[in-house]
């Protein structure tokens, strides 16, 4: 990563961690000892102001100097950083790029394996940019490999897996493919125009509305659940879903409510919390979760499959 981007991401993170502001001498010192600056190079005031301007432009923020407060530099508002998903991804990408450099030099950074299927992203993005279809071969876990004529519309990352969402042209329906299960793909030169209804449905901003993850089934419902200590503290800090609201709080548990589609991957998330979570309502969903737990228990007791069809 070149110096400009390295310093820009470092400056944003440093000012976010020091919301009270930093004087120029403090910024110089922190840069000199930062892991982003392994050679310990000095930061001149002229360089700081040049890259300060670059940082403001890159991330659409204002870094102000409060002269009445000892000349402290701070980010005037973090709203753009908090709400702009594209900028959040840019920040994340630059942080990961720097981590990659550090991993080559140090043994004290342990990372998960990179998501599979990344080698397919380029041809998919080329297809989207050129408004052209793909001829692809896909192998699901449930059937033999099959050829598709597919119009990709957007890509999504969920739980360390990449997915492409678009239209199965032959069936004229919305389809989701996991990138690691795409065996082969090539661009079809003829442009394809999505039917109006499919185009309206395949809106990246609304397609997964009220979904927990990557599955888009069923109408959304209000689900109330109880998280017991200490899992309630974790779910307060890291909500299960963007719609999550705190309903009731006691010393031993917290009740939350979410408005979401009751899908397979949502049930998986509830089960991930083990015995630290219980669904309260609606009754039909609570009983369904009990069925899943009973089937799981029978499988553990007997070693046989009691898997339920979803």
pLDDT in tens, 30-52: 999 887 887 888 889 999 999 99
Whether residue 227 is found in the same domain as residue 272: yes
Dihedral-angle region of residue 4 (phi above 0 means left; psi in -120 to 50 means alpha; beta otherwise): alpha
**DSSP β-bridge partners for residue 277:** 227
- Closest listed residue to residue 181, CA positions, set 217, 148, 132: 148
Cβ within 8 Å of residue 289, ≥6 positions away: 267, 270, 279
- Can you give the CATH number for the domain in which 132 is found? 2.30.30
Residue 284 inside a domain? The answer is: yes
- Closest listed residue to residue 158, CA positions, set 111, 216, 202: 216
Residue 162 inside a domain? The answer is: yes
Domain boundary pick from 74, 104, 134: 104
pLDDT one-digit tens code per residue, 186-225: 999 877 888 899 999 999 999 999 999 999 999 999 999 9
Report the SS3 class of residue 138.
strand
Residue 308 inside a domain? The answer is: no
Residue 208 inside a domain? The answer is: no
Residue 209 inside a domain? The answer is: no
How many Å apart are CA 185 and CA 150, to the nearest integer?
10
**DSSP β-bridge partners for residue 175:** 166
Domain boundary pick from 73, 104, 135: 104
Whether residue 14 is found in the same domain as residue 50: yes
Number of domains in the chain: 3
> In the prediction, which pLDDT does 265 show?
95
Residues of the chain with pLDDT under 70: 1, 100-109, 111
Pairing verdict, β 253-260 and 221-228: antiparallel
Query: In this structure, are residues 59 and 91 in contact, taking their beta carbons and an 8 Å threshold?
Result: yes
Residue 7 inside a domain? The answer is: yes
Residue 207 inside a domain? The answer is: no
E-state strands within the chain: 63-66, 72-75, 132-138, 146-158, 161-168, 173-178, 182-191, 221-228, 245-249, 253-260, 277-281
pTM of the model: 0.74
> In the prediction, which pLDDT does 89 show?
78
Whether residue 137 is found in the same domain as residue 187: yes
Residue 89 inside a domain? The answer is: yes
Whether residue 251 is found in the same domain as residue 290: yes
> In the prediction, which pLDDT does 101 show?
67
Domain boundary pick from 45, 79, 104: 104
- Closest listed residue to residue 120, CA positions, set 169, 185, 191: 185
How many Å apart are CA 139 and CA 102, to the nearest integer?
36
* Structural domain that includes position 269: 221-302
> In the prediction, which pLDDT does 106 show?
60
> In the prediction, which pLDDT does 243 show?
97
> In the prediction, which pLDDT does 37 show?
81
């Amino acid at each position: 990563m070149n110096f400009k981007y390295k310093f820009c991401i470092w400056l944003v993170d440093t000012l976010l961690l020091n919301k009270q502001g930093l004087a120029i001498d403090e910024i110089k010192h922190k840069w000199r000892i930062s892991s982003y600056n392994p050679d310990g190079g000095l930061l001149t005031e002229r360089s700081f102001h040049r890259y300060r301007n670059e940082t403001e432009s890159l991330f659409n923020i204002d870094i102000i100097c409060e002269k009445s407060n000892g000349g402290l530099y701070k980010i005037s508002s973090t709203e753009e950083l908090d709400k702009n998903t594209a900028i959040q991804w840019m920040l994340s990408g630059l942080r990961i790029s720097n981590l990659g450099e550090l991993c080559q030099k140090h043994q004290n950074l342990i990372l998960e394996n990179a998501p599979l299927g990344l080698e397919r992203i380029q041809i998919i993005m080329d297809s989207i940019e050129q408004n052209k279809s793909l001829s692809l071969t896909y192998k699901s876990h449930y059937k033999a490999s099959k050829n598709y004529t597919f119009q990709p519309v957007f890509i999504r990352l969920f739980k360390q897996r990449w997915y492409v969402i678009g239209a199965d042209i032959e069936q004229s329906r919305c389809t989701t493919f996991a990138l690691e299960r795409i065996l082969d793909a090539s661009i079809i030169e003829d442009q394809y125009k999505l039917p109006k209804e499919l185009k309206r449905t395949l809106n990246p901003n609304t397609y997964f509305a009220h979904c927990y993850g990557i599955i888009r089934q069923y109408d959304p419902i209000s689900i109330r659940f109880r998280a017991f200590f200490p899992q309630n503290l974790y779910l307060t800090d890291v909500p299960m879903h963007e719609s999550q609201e705190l309903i009731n709080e006691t010393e031993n548990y917290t009740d939350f409510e979410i408005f979401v589609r009751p899908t397979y991957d949502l049930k998986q998330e509830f089960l991930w919390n083990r015995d630290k979570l219980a669904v309260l309502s609606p009754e039909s969903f609570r009983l369904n979760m009990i069925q899943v737990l009973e089937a799981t228990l029978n499988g553990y007791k007997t070693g046989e499959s009691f898997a339920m069809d979803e």
